[in-house]
């Protein structure tokens, strides 16, 4: 059923957007800073969207058993985050997050406290958001669903391609950042404006050294001032 496919694509996009908002405020509360928390540039957190789709697909049949939804929501979140972390590390040779400093963690890849929150989010998805979205989409023509969902998906795919190569560049230099900064200070022949800060703000564990990060911020700021003179 193509209509059902378009609806699931809309679920993915909407839940990715809502997941982005959730992560922004989570980062603000926990780390006291506003950042774009996503791998992509746009306001969508695809991992959250995929998590929501899995919850809907696997747990909607347990509508009358909220305890099952909560427990399996926690489990799905834990497995999904663990293997996402593992996959990113294998592909980019960099650690995007590390929960080792938290009391309840597994190999630094997952934070049990956060996964419990995701169990609660699974309840919100099944009992609140999903019924509401299904009701809204029941009034939307299939043709509109098709063009909107495929159009937004194309934008996200293009963003993913661009962000993938940006992340590769960042991770390639992350483990050599101090050498790069030393070379810049010594010879002034490194273009600091080529070093993108977005992913470093979002995933500080890419460069797991606060001193190096602060030094980079300062040099880029000085570089910008000189450029504008």
DSSP readout, 7-33?
Answer: HHHHHHHHHHHHHHHHHHHHHHHHHS-
Task: Record the tokens describing residue 90, joined without a space.
Answer: 């294998």
Q: Per residue in 164-187, pLDDT tens?
A: 988 888 777 766 676 677 766 676
Contact between 96 and 163 under an 8 Å Cβ cutoff? The reply is no
Q: Per residue in 209-221, pLDDT tens?
A: 666 777 777 777 7
Instruction: Give me the pLDDT at residue 96, please.
Output: 83
Instruction: Give me the pLDDT at residue 16, please.
Output: 95
Task: Record the tokens describing residue 214, joined without a space.
Answer: 């602060």
Instruction: Give me the pLDDT at residue 227, please.
Output: 57
CB atoms closer than 10 angstroms to residue 215: 16
Based on the number of CB atoms within 10 Å of its own CB, is 19 exposed (0-12), middle (13-18) or buried (19 or more)?
buried
Instruction: Give me the pLDDT at residue 229, please.
Output: 46
> pLDDT (tens digit, 0 to 9) for every residue of the chain, 229 residues total?
899 999 999 999 999 999 999 989 988 887 777 777 778 889 999 999 999 999 999 999 999 999 999 999 999 999 999 999 999 989 888 888 888 878 888 888 998 988 999 999 999 999 999 999 999 999 999 999 999 999 999 999 999 999 998 888 877 776 667 667 776 667 665 666 666 677 777 777 777 666 677 777 777 777 666 655 4
């Amino acid at each position: 059923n193509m209509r059902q496919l378009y609806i699931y694509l809309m679920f993915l996009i909407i839940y990715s957007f809502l997941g982005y908002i959730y992560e922004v405020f989570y980062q603000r509360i926990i780390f006291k800073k506003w950042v774009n928390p996503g791998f992509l540039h746009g306001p969508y957190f695809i991992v959250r969207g995929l998590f929501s789709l899995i919850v809907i697909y696997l747990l909607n049949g347990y509508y009358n058993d909220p305890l099952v939804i909560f427990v399996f929501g926690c489990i799905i979140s834990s497995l999904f985050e663990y293997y996402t972390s593992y996959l990113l590390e294998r592909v980019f040779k960099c650690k995007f997050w590390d929960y080792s400093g938290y009391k309840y963690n597994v190999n630094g890849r997952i934070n049990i406290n956060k996964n419990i929150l995701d169990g609660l989010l699974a309840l919100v998805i099944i009992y609140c958001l999903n019924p509401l979205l299904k009701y809204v989409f029941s009034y939307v023509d299939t043709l509109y669903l098709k063009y909107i969902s495929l159009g937004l998906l194309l934008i996200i795919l293009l963003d993913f391609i661009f962000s993938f190569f940006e992340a590769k560049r960042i991770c390639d230099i992350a483990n050599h950042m101090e050498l790069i900064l030393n070379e810049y200070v010594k010879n002034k022949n490194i273009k600091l404006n080529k070093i993108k800060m977005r992913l470093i703000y979002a995933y500080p564990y890419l460069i797991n050294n606060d001193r190096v990060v602060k030094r980079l911020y300062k040099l880029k700021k000085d570089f910008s001032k000189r450029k504008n003179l």
